[in-house]
Amino acid sequence: MLAGGLGGARFLHGVRALLGIEGGPGPTTEEPDGITVVGNTGDDLWLFGLKVCPDLDTIMYSLGGGLDEDRTWGRAAETFNAAEELRAYGAQPDWFGLGDRDIGTHLMRTQLLEAGYPLSAVTAALCQRWQPGVRLLPMTDDRVETHVVITDDQGRRAIHFQEWWVRLHAEVAAERFVMVGAEDATPGPGVVEAIMTADVVLLPPSNPVVSIGAIASVPGIATALRSTEAPVVGVSGLVSGAPVRGMADACLSAIGVEPRAGAVAVHYGARPAGFLDGWLVDLADAGEVDEVAAAGIACRAVPTMMTDHGAAAALVGKALDFAAELRSGQ
């Protein structure tokens, strides 16, 4: 799977539930149950000297049982004393909430990075504690950060994705997304191999632009997606013209794609020119199946709302059945 944050995490709970390993520590990260997640690092930022990896942490915490499921980011049972101290000093930025427990993760990550370990090794080390039951691979060990071009009273400028997402709530129109550093980045260790040797590649309902799009911006990853012998099946994160969570609509409009399930599939494209062999849309969007099929992508309408692990497991099961049919049909 290529995954961003919350949508990917919820879908992964479905994978684990389907495999009957939900809830337990599950297999160790060395020998996971064959589940490899290529995680988005475009959301990453350096803050007060700490390296923060929001999408990797959301997957790691959620599958490890440490995510604050209500806040949907950061750690459960969190406190914000350090953040309050920073605010008392007038430290900037003050709009990105760093929790005390979460800071422990960033201190550990930063210490290991500064000791010379690549992000992939650091992520594996952090996952030793959390035992997410999947192999979590950063899309790259190189620095890639999504920045957003906006125009406001300070003129046209690029700001970090997190400032646009958290401080501005994506309310200022994004003119363009720039994955800074992507052109010089190489796929992380194991990433291309995982895609090329997979039985199936799943694109969960993550943000098509700043999550799946950021991962695909790393040279070599899109090529692997297009050429793997595994069937590639994606799931729409938009239902009835709106994102189920998050602000993918604000991202899609920046690249001229309508916030519709069918439009996202057409944007991803049919393999080998594009990424998809199959696309699942919600029952509410059954009327868009023909548009997707006309783009050369097999399409099915199924229940896609992951209201609990059981619903997520059912959705994953549908995606895997669909992939099996596509593989046998190929």
- 22: three-class secondary structure by DSSP: coil
Chain residues 105-164 in contact with ligand FO1, contact rule CB under 6 A: 162
Contact assessment for residue 16 and residue 22, using Cβ atoms and an 8 Å cutoff = yes
Amino acid at 16: R
Does 66 bind ligand FO1 (CB under 6 A)? Our answer is no
Chain residues 24-43 in contact with ligand FO1, contact rule CB under 6 A: 43
Closer to ligand FO1 at the Cβ: 223 or 253?
A: 253
Give the binding range for ligand FO1 (CB under 6 A) out of 96-104, 151-159, 295-303, 310-318.
96-104
Q: Which residue of 22, 78, 102, 291 would you call a contact of ligand FO1, by CB under 6 A?
A: 102
Closer to ligand FO1 at the Cβ: 43 or 277?
A: 43
Q: How big is the CA angle at 269 (ends 222 and 277), to the nearest 5 degrees?
A: 85
Q: DSSP per residue over 250-286, as a string? A: HHHHHTT--SSHHHHHHHH-BTTTSSBSEEEEEGGGG
- 41: three-class secondary structure by DSSP: coil
**Stretch (H or E) spanning 309:** helix 309-329
Q: Which residue of 5, 26, 27, 64 would you call a contact of ligand FO1, by CB under 6 A?
A: 5
Distance in Å, CB of 58 to ligand FO1, minimum? 5
- 182: three-class secondary structure by DSSP: helix
Closer to ligand FO1 at the Cβ: 51 or 267?
A: 51
Contact assessment for residue 248 and residue 207, using Cβ atoms and an 8 Å cutoff = yes
Q: Which residue of 96, 220, 296, 302 would you call a contact of ligand FO1, by CB under 6 A?
A: 96
Q: 101: which 2 tokens? A: 């427990």
Give the binding range for ligand FO1 (CB under 6 A) out of 95-103, 134-142, 216-224, 253-261.
95-103
**Stretch (H or E) spanning 326:** helix 309-329
Q: Which residues bind ligand FO1 (CB under 6 A)?
A: 4-5, 43, 52, 54-55, 57-58, 73-74, 96-97, 102, 162, 165-166
